[in-house]
Structure 1
């Protein structure tokens, strides 16, 4: 990978890696932390591979110094982490602040700054405090104001040092997998209804928090705030079939557009999404009001509530038209099915096809469709399953090919890509897949209490790319 031409990357390019609190921290009930929806979901049994949990995970709560060593070995300029909402506000509200939790994140942030590593902090990466879920969670209208109070607390407490904020990670995944499919926490299955409500409230929460930051903190702190959106790249299965072409547009509208259009486009949901959901409600005799909520004129608009575009990209799909669903469902509304091309290699799990040039195409699509704002690729990675290969040649090739495509997006397509964050710094708890998928730049030995971190070859090669870029940048300045 060190053979990669890094000259396309700007001198201030952010070289990062990402993690999230529930996936690495452990310490699930230590020092006053409250339970999160993922604690509850995992403890319910039968939800996660081999009933594994994030109770200990990488034990980063107690082994943070080991994580910091990994960050320094890589030579990262940026590190994306998330705050466990329930660790600092056990019941989700500012009525009770857990000072031990605040102390932990102060230590992490201070250590990063002292090491010349810029923190990017996510406020909610899937792990809602269970106390809030018990009151309706993200389906509750009140959640947007509660989240705004939490965000304000974090801006006030950490914002003197944190200059890059993500409010919500992958609202699509939390809404659909958690409230439509029921395979992620909180495990609700209400097809065609709850996911839209959850997505709407996440957008409301994000918008209120951005406006709060903009009016009360930006002039003092000078930071930036965004929301992390995940998306596949999509192309028609049969480019000569008008139905597949239309289905591909819907596929992108119902995934990326669902959140990008309100924030970066029109301030509202995509027209194709609104019309399809309304038509399907009529067709299926659903008459209990609009399933896709409407934005209120009495609340801050989501339009323009991002200072950069945060993109999580993992894979691509070929899309075909889907007809005839006779029940309410997100997939029926979307009327599209994404499939993998048989020529694409698969990484670790069936859904994760390796398509590096899909990232370049998606970056161009975002620039052309939504915004010329800077883009940070906030997650992108390659998983292993089965016997672990520490000399992970396939992942090395993946990173080399992917970074090459990012370089082309910058130099050939004129996309303003400001940074790349590999998923993930460490092997960790991969949600419903438990520990059987490994995305880390560092291997974690989960079989021992020490949870020893060891470089994968891909981590060493990523470090070499970063070092090479720094050297080139310095030589230009001399």
Structure 2
């Protein structure tokens, strides 16, 4: 394996991926943004009629799974301080701000029988503030905060959620569609389905591996597609907007040149993200053949009379296929993959990981983040090129990419990460990838799910101990501001003023 890594490193160097050091221009009219999510920044968890989400329920449980036992009850208090967030976006010169709206804030019952007008006014005010400062809003309809009432009925494993989600989305289109021209239906389906239903890594922690995540996947794809078609048929002509989906992606590199490891990498890609991208962007639609084959075979071995992966009917395949105007790419890292006999018995049976049937590892020489993953910009480049070649070069907005720290304003590691990944992005543009924009995760520090406040991703540091939740720019914020201002990635730029003034 060591020889393989050496050869791979030489190949990467000679081919220029992650090796360019000169200043490079972005395409004309390239969009730069930053992202956030309602549950992670808003706070106001019981204010003005908001009902609990599945995340509120989990973080307030007697045995909280949150690392520092914190909650998002206040978080960055953006429910009250949204104007500060918009001011930050203006200071940076952002083209767009990507944020999500809270389903349980807008529809406290989960259903469309009662609309919370105070919540409607809150988001209307936020949109007006952004538009007044020439910042384009990109709105995520669902970023994980399902109303807890709906989870009592099965949440994303209940097919009726397709209609519940449609009702919610149509309210957003009706109330905000004249101001929002870019919509994202759902963020990170894998984290919702595998994390929340097939394991305990995300709310609602159902932990029914090998069954629940596949039920969830089918319902999420259909919910996304039905909302897309509703927008297309009822709102697009008047509102003239676009609608897409954001999916989390990792690149999977074979650990050797063997045929087994090559196939292992393909299987990993198809289980990790192809299960969501292939039905929407694939030429023939439907779940990937690798996923259908593996789950069917494993199900038979385990004495199931049917495949644990629900089928998509011909009508459903047609409904889901091409149901997006753009692809949102959330990507942070890369994994090495190999196939080995040791994989048998490594994972629970049944489970998504057992169905995938591969071993995922990291090169021990790679730098490791505090979140236990590594920066691998050449993997980001390969991913973007693969999406271009596999899915007929869809329009892409990189909707999440960033680096965690413990805090502090001099975040050189974040600057290095962003520069290297932006450099890889430009390499992909040179390869013909249709990449329209890039958004840093995240605009400000936030409640980082089960990591609480132990990991900080913000361009701006938030003092969570202060009543004002003071926002302070990190060095990375000034680096990113210069990229936006000049439309140039300059590896030699140093914000000297920050170095002098920073405490």
State which of 272, 291, 294 in structure 2 corresponds to 1:276.
Answer: 294
User: Could you tell me which residue of structure 1 aligns to residue 493 of structure 2?
Assistant: none
Counterpart contact for 2:35–2:98, Cα < 8 Å: yes
Compute the TM-score of the two structures, normalised by the length of structure 1: 0.94
Q: Displacement of 1:471 after TM fit?
A: 13
User: Could you tell me which residue of structure 1 aligns to residue 410 of structure 2?
Assistant: 391
Does the alignment pair 1:330 with 2:352?
yes
User: Could you tell me which residue of structure 2 aligns to residue 138 of structure 1?
Assistant: 156
Counterpart contact for 1:4–1:404, Cα < 8 Å: no
SS at match of 1:313: strand
Q: Equivalent residues in 2 for 1:156-235 (5 A)?
A: 156-235=174-253
SS at match of 1:463: helix
State which of 274, 277, 280 in structure 2 corresponds to 1:257.
Answer: 274
SS at match of 2:319: coil
Q: Deviations over 1:371-404 (max 9, x none)?
A: 322110000000013xx23111111111111111
User: Could you tell me which residue of structure 1 aligns to residue 423 of structure 2?
Assistant: 404
SS at match of 1:341: coil
Q: Deviations over 1:299-324 (max 9, x none)?
A: 56100001011100010000111532
Give the distance between the partners of 2:408 and 2:489, measured in 1 at CA. 30
SS at match of 1:249: helix
User: Could you tell me which residue of structure 2 aligns to residue 431 of structure 1?
Assistant: 449
User: Could you tell me which residue of structure 2 aligns to residue 369 of structure 1?
Assistant: 390
Q: Deviations over 1:170-218 (max 9, x none)?
A: 0011101111111210011111000000111110100000010111111
User: Could you tell me which residue of structure 2 aligns to residue 246 of structure 1?
Assistant: 263
Q: Displacement of 1:418 after TM fit?
A: 0.3
Counterpart contact for 1:28–1:55, Cα < 8 Å: yes
State which of 64, 86, 89 in structure 2 corresponds to 1:68.
Answer: 86
Give the distance between the partners of 2:363 and 2:392, measured in 1 at CA. 29
The CA RMSD over aligned residues, in Å, is 1.6
Counterpart contact for 1:6–1:465, Cα < 8 Å: no
User: Could you tell me which residue of structure 2 aligns to residue 382 of structure 1?
Assistant: 403
Alpha carbons of structure 1 residues 4 and 29: separation in structure 2 relative to 1, 3 Å: farther
State which of 51, 55, 64 in structure 2 corresponds to 1:34.
Answer: 51
Q: Deviations over 1:132-154 (max 9, x none)?
A: 11111111110001101111111
Give the distance between the partners of 2:252 and 2:307, measured in 1 at CA. 28
Alpha carbons of structure 1 residues 471 and 361: separation in structure 2 relative to 1, 3 Å: closer
Counterpart contact for 2:370–2:404, Cα < 8 Å: yes
User: Which structure 1 segments of 5+ residues have no match?
Assistant: 473-478
Does the alignment pair 1:15 with 2:32?
yes
Give the distance between the partners of 1:196 and 1:291, measured in 2 at CA. 7
Compute the TM-score of the two structures, normalised by the length of structure 2: 0.90
Q: Equivalent residues in 2 for 1:298-337 (5 A)?
A: 299=316, 301-322=319-340, 323-325=343-345, 327-337=349-359
Give the distance between the partners of 2:135 and 2:392, measured in 1 at CA. 27
Counterpart contact for 2:423–2:489, Cα < 8 Å: no
Counterpart contact for 2:393–2:433, Cα < 8 Å: yes
Counterpart contact for 1:88–1:98, Cα < 8 Å: yes
Give the distance between the partners of 1:262 and 1:383, measured in 2 at CA. 32
Counterpart contact for 1:227–1:306, Cα < 8 Å: yes
Give the distance between the partners of 2:204 and 2:392, measured in 1 at CA. 33
Alpha carbons of structure 1 residues 4 and 155: separation in structure 2 relative to 1, 3 Å: farther
Give the distance between the partners of 1:343 and 1:75, measured in 2 at CA. 37
Does the alignment pair 1:454 with 2:472?
yes
Q: Displacement of 1:290 after TM fit?
A: 3.0
Q: Deviations over 1:119-173 (max 9, x none)?
A: 1100110110111111111111100011011111111111111011110100011
Aligned length: 463
User: Which structure 2 segments of 5+ residues have no match?
Assistant: 1-20, 491-503
User: Could you tell me which residue of structure 1 aligns to residue 139 of structure 2?
Assistant: 121
